Amino acid sequence: MQTHGSDRRFGEDIATLYQDLLVPLIFAPYARDLASRLASLPAGRVLELAAGTGAVTRELSARLPPGAEIVATDLNETMLAVAQRQGTPGPVVWQQADAMALPFDDASFDAVACQFGTMFFPDKAQAFAEARRVLRPGGTLLFSVWDRIETNDFAWVIQEAVAGVFPEDPPRFLERLPHGYCARDAIARDLAQGGFRGPPAIRTVVAESAAATPAIPAAAYCQGTPLRNEIVARDATRLEAATEAAIAAIAARFGTGRVTGRIQALVVGIAR
């Protein structure tokens, strides 16, 4: 999969909008799902990779039994700063870390979790190898990735609307990265290359995304993700035009008031 430097830049503006708009729009239901799965495991010490602004971290802190230790990491310190400002019900260790070179001892965690971050790892097999290394024997790696963009209503409609603003060079960040790692055979292959044995359990999880107005998903995707970087790189004066095009497209498809759309992801689990 092709990668671009702008794909991984989450500056302060993007991180704040990500937390305020994207987390309640699309991440919250999957954070609850992932945390509930982890809470059913014997996990006294949990490592979270690519924690972002802490959607899963907060759920884990609320759901794991007293005494469980959570270490939440992300490569982007700006995202972690926003996460820490949100607070958590219980204690969390926050640490900047690269998923492909984890600064932790071998066999030091009962579970490793990652919500919608795996797609951003440049070398997924290496990241999986690192996750396996820090897992104790019998420990679990559990992560989620978005399914195809066509199965995620708002993302699909917004990508096509923004493409219409830049027809000669349409931004494809959403399809290329967040929705670009959903082939089950590729996931299984990368896990095997990372040292995991046996087939992973891969489940399709469908949920609903809802917003009070079409402007919320439009701003969330156009200004709260690195899609913003692609728009600005083409023409910095057209960020608002791209957002307005997304608003119009959402309104045309889902209505001008409260809007709801399908979201779909894959949840992957495998034991060490």
CATH number of the structural domain spanning residue 147:
3.40.50.150
Report pLDDT for 14. Answer: 77
Report pLDDT for 11. Answer: 57
The tally of domains found in the chain comes to 1
Domain range spanning residue 110?
Answer: 5-271
d(CA 176, CA 8): 12
Angle of the 239-254 helix axis to the 153-165 helix axis, nearest 10? 130
Provide the β-strand partners of residue 266: 145, 204
d(CA 128, CA 106): 13
Report pLDDT for 86. Answer: 93
Half-sphere exposure of 265 (CA within 13 A, CB side): 24
Positions of the chain with pLDDT lower than 70, given as ranges: 1-12
d(CA 2, CA 222): 21
What are the counts of helices (DSSP H) followed by strands (DSSP E) for the chain? Answer: 11, 7
